[in-house]
Chains A and B, each alone.
Chain A
Amino acid sequence: MSRFLFLSLPLTGHVNPMVAVAKVLLARGHEVLWAGSESFLRPLAGPAAVIHPIPLRAHRGQAERGIDATRSRWEGYILPHAKYTRKGVEAAVEAFRPDLLVVDQHAIAGPIVAHRLGLPWATVATTAMELTRPFARGLPKVEDWIQQQMRTAWSAAGLDGTPPWDLRFSPDLVISFIGEDLLDDPSQLPPNTVVVGPSLAERAPDPDFPFDWLDPARQHVLITMGTLNMDQAAHFYPRILQAVEPLGDRLQAVVVAPQGTITGEPGHVLVRRPVPVLDLLPHMDAVVSHGGLNTVSESLVHGVPLLVTPIKGDQALMASAVARVGAGLRVSIDHSRPVALRTALLDLLDDPRYAEAARATGKRLLAGGGADAAATALIQLASAGISSQTYDV
């Protein structure tokens, strides 16, 4: 049996897929320790999870978008997170003596500690932001700048020279939760990548959600802009609400937003947060989303087509991928008027080809094996490395 140290970032969409993998590892008799903020991880990882606490504030989202978001992601988030967590990760390694570090692509303290202590590590990609290095082609100097950021983090940790590998890619194993259908260019994947697709775990049911509000005689639309984007999507909610306003005779819409942020909604619109997305999706005919990987994957797995309005990061890649496979449409969150949004939404609801493409794509995504396949790859690597393992603590 092997011991795995899991390191992520305090971001729901990043942690959830890893939780599913941790559960499979535990079920197969292995040990998993999380290093990170207990108050953030506990509700996601569950009461039985073992957590080496590293106090962190939850990420509140970033104000920047576009290329500026890339700058602030590295300068304002990834590098400070690496600096702040490194000692705690080292302490977790010393206490737990893992066979393998399992590291989110953006938690670069992981590979830094792994290098210092001579441990093998595996990368998990929970977004498409870095996986195929999309900047390397269109905006090569942005990719150079990211490389510079990683060298800065390396030096700041007191290590000599430059990183022996790209800190975003383990030389041994990269696990992609992004199915091939959702990648802009699968040929750009590192050679040791295992594409497992969506890693979904059951989530706690929401006994308060009024499922009986859903009228079986009408179609249903879920409108969700993710957990971190309320401010940046604020200008979008009024327009999407205008788009669905005259459609009450044929559909009901569930809008994910804190109660009180949207007022005066018509009777066929329900505003709630949080909502039990996985339990709702079987009732949905379309999803309107910013295009976070998890929302996109979960919708497709349930055969639900998407209207994607990317805000930042890899969401534009997701939106284009959804359109490319025919499972939905990409529209601009900033530049789409209510009439255009309504037209696009009705197209999704009226043309069965979108739902067919969503179902077919969802099947292909699941064929990657998800959390189960990820656990198998991690176990293989951990037992391969176990004999040669040395600690230099």
Chain B
Amino acid sequence: MAAAPHQEIVELLRQVTGEDETWAAGVTPSTRVDTDLFIDSLELVALSEAMRQRYGDRVDLAAHVAGLELPELIELTVADLAELAGGNS
């Protein structure tokens, strides 16, 4: 299954952060979720739930990040989220 479209993931990120279109326009596939967007723990929980609703129960972001090593967490990108949503992770 192909990765989810970048714009869909950005829109979910925009919704859980309460940000606007200008903010969303600055988010690229290589933008880092933790290090660049400062998605905090509550927003991550909300994003995990939003992705589950959008892409189905097999897409479990919370379980995915729980399996990541510290450097991988720092480097997690928006493209990684799209891949996870597409079932490629």
A interface residues, Cβ below 8 angstroms from B: 64-68, 70-71, 138-142, 145, 310, 316, 320, 330, 332-337, 340
Q: Which residues of A contact B62 (CB under 8 A)?
A: 138
B interface residues, Cβ below 8 angstroms from A: 17-20, 23, 34-35, 37-43, 62, 65-71, 73-74
The secondary-structure label for the interface of chain A is: helix
Instruction: Determine if A332 and B17 form an interchain contact, defined as CB atoms under 8 angstroms apart.
Output: yes
Known A-B contacts A310-B40, A320-B42, A336-B18; the reply to A138 vs B66 at CB < 8 A is yes
Q: Which residues of A contact B41 (CB under 8 A)?
A: 138, 316
Q: Which residues of A contact B68 (CB under 8 A)?
A: 139, 141
Which residue of A has the minimal Cβ distance to B67? A141
Q: Which residues of B contact A337 (CB under 8 A)?
A: 18, 20
Minimum distance in angstroms from B27 CB to a CB of chain A: 12
Instruction: Determine if B65 and A332 form an interchain contact, defined as CB atoms under 8 angstroms apart.
Output: no
Q: Which residues of A contact B70 (CB under 8 A)?
A: 67, 70-71, 141-142, 145
Q: Which residues of B contact A142 (CB under 8 A)?
A: 70, 73
Q: Which residues of A contact B35 (CB under 8 A)?
A: 64-68
8 contacts between A and B (CB under 8 A): A66-B34, A66-B74, A67-B73, A68-B74, A70-B70, A71-B74, A139-B68, A332-B17
Minimum distance in angstroms from B40 CB to a CB of chain A: 6
Instruction: Determine if B42 and A65 form an interchain contact, defined as CB atoms under 8 angstroms apart.
Output: no
CA distance A316 to B65 in the complex (A): 18
Q: Which residues of B contact A140 (CB under 8 A)?
A: 66
CA distance A1 to B62 in the complex (A): 52
Task: Choose among B42, B66, B71 the residue that contacts A139 (Cβ–Cβ < 8 A).
Answer: B66
Which residue of B has the minimal Cβ distance to A138? B66
CA distance A141 to B68 in the complex (A): 7
Instruction: Determine if B67 and A65 form an interchain contact, defined as CB atoms under 8 angstroms apart.
Output: no
Q: Which residues of B contact A336 (CB under 8 A)?
A: 18
Q: Which residues of A contact B38 (CB under 8 A)?
A: 65-66, 333-334
Which residue of A has the minimal Cβ distance to B36? A66
Q: Which residues of B contact A145 (CB under 8 A)?
A: 69-70
CA distance A320 to B38 in the complex (A): 17
CA distance A332 to B69 in the complex (A): 25
Q: Which residues of B contact A66 (CB under 8 A)?
A: 34-35, 38-40, 74
Supply 9 further A-B pairs (C-beta < 8 A) apart from A66-B38, A334-B38: A68-B34, A68-B74, A70-B70, A141-B68, A145-B69, A310-B40, A316-B42, A333-B38, A335-B43
Give 7 closest A-B pairs by Cβ, nearest first: A335-B17, A66-B34, A145-B70, A67-B73, A334-B38, A68-B74, A141-B69
Which residue of B has the minimal Cβ distance to A67? B73
Instruction: Determine if B66 and A332 form an interchain contact, defined as CB atoms under 8 angstroms apart.
Output: no
CA distance A64 to B77 in the complex (A): 17
Q: Which residues of A contact B42 (CB under 8 A)?
A: 316, 320, 330
Known A-B contacts A68-B35, A316-B40, A320-B42; the reply to A335 vs B74 at CB < 8 A is no
CA distance A336 to B68 in the complex (A): 29
Minimum distance in angstroms from B82 CB to a CB of chain A: 20
Q: Which residues of B contact A68 (CB under 8 A)?
A: 34-35, 74
CA distance A335 to B73 in the complex (A): 21
Q: Which residues of A contact B43 (CB under 8 A)?
A: 332, 335
Of listed A64, A310, A316, A335, residue having the most chain B CB within 10 A = A335
Q: Which residues of A contact B18 (CB under 8 A)?
A: 332, 335-337, 340
Instruction: Determine if A335 and B66 form an interchain contact, defined as CB atoms under 8 angstroms apart.
Output: no
CA distance A336 to B23 in the complex (A): 12
Q: Which residues of A contact B23 (CB under 8 A)?
A: 335
Which residue of A has the minimal Cβ distance to B62? A138
CA distance A53 to B74 in the complex (A): 37
CA distance A138 to B40 in the complex (A): 13
Which residue of B has the minimal Cβ distance to A310? B40
Known A-B contacts A145-B70, A340-B18; the reply to A332 vs B40 at CB < 8 A is yes
Minimum distance in angstroms from B16 CB to a CB of chain A: 9
